[in-house]
Amino acid sequence: MTETEARRFIREVFTKMRPMEFLEVVESLPESEEKVWLLGLLVNELKESGYMVVQ
């Protein structure tokens, strides 16, 4: 999956469940490089969409 595809998938999931619920699901996955990568993209999407405020 490319970064563009992953971001599209994340935005689609946001239409089906609350973003923080999805974050909890991803955080519950076994540790892997893919999980770290997906968490990074997810956090960026949360910031860009206004769900997460960075101070």
Per residue of the chain (55 residues), give pLDDT as tens: 899 999 999 999 989 998 889 889 999 999 999 999 999 999 898 888 887 666 5
| Domain of residue 30, residue span | 3-48
Task: Tell me what pLDDT residue 5 has.
Answer: 95
Task: Tell me what pLDDT residue 19 has.
Answer: 86
Residue 39 domain flag: yes
Residue listed under structure tokens 């405020």? 53
Nearest to 26 by CA among 48, 50, 10, 2: 10
Residue 53 domain flag: no
Residue 54 domain flag: no
Say how many CA atoms lie within 13 Å of 23 toward its Cβ: 13
**Longest Cα pair distance anywhere in the chain, in angstroms?**
31
Look at the chain and report how many structural domains it folds into: 1
Residue 31 domain flag: yes
Residue 17 domain flag: yes
Here the tokens at position 1 are 């999956």
